[in-house]
Amino acid sequence: MITALLTAGAAAGPAGPVGPTAPSGGGLTVAVNGIDGTPSTSIVLILAITLLSVAPAMLLMMTAFTKIMVVLSITRNALGLQGVPPNQVLAGLALFLSLFVMAPVITQINADAVQPFLHGTITQTQMFEAAAEPLKQFMLHQTRQQDLALITRAADRPNPANPADVPLTTLIPAFVLSELRAAFIIGFVVYIPFLVIDIVVSSGLMAMGMMMLPPVTVSLPFKLLLFVMVNGWGLIVTALVGSYR
């Protein structure tokens, strides 16, 4: 029995080496979406961090923040108050007023771009295109044609056939120029009454021979009284919000 087993094992012997198989036509794939077609949490987190990094630039260049902040700063200077209200208060007020003005645009972006992308019905490229369209329409409504023509000539580009053909690289600087112009116009109107008070007080002090007394010291209470009596902050906020309707 033992001899038979040894004889059978010796007869079988080890198997020979097997040659390499032909390479298959595979490749490397990265799954952007999850199992149900929605974007993965990692992709959403990366997009959120990217948006947060460019949010300050977008807030300054593509919303009503710049115009509101400039008008509020001019109002404070017209009152003769250098540090009241503080810059943080003015920036916070300008931020929330900007959110109030941009609420319809933000709602449309969320409905047309963000929610469809989170549900997996559109791609990232389609999301960015859908999100840019409401912002573009908002900026076009607030941009003067002269400023668009100025930036177009400065870039040495042909005139667009219609507003939809205006690229964002041309529209954004033109929008900022229009916002600054409108802010300075509103600031000029706000500044005039306080300038008149300064002139009247200065003339009265000179007529009384009180040349050593700074006119600002006397005119500041009158300017504050006038500003409070006419509800100055309310009028300015109403004018700023109404300029975007």
d(Cα 101, Cα 142) in Å, to the nearest integer? 12
Summarize pLDDT for 25-38 with one digit per residue, the tens. 555 444 555 555 56
The pLDDT of residue 6 is 46
d(Cα 108, Cα 131) in Å, to the nearest integer? 8
d(Cα 233, Cα 102) in Å, to the nearest integer? 20
Give per-10-residue mean pLDDT for the chain (245 aa). Answer: 51 59 53 55 67 67 89 90 86 91 89 82 81 87 88 83 79 91 92 88 81 77 88 90 85
CB atoms within 10 A of CB 175: 28
The pTM (predicted TM-score) of the whole model is 0.74
The pLDDT of residue 27 is 52
The pLDDT of residue 163 is 73
The pLDDT of residue 243 is 87
For 70, residues 6+ apart whose C-beta sits below 8 A from its C-beta are 180, 183, 184, 187
The pLDDT of residue 73 is 92
Could you tell me the two tokens for 92?
A: 């916070």
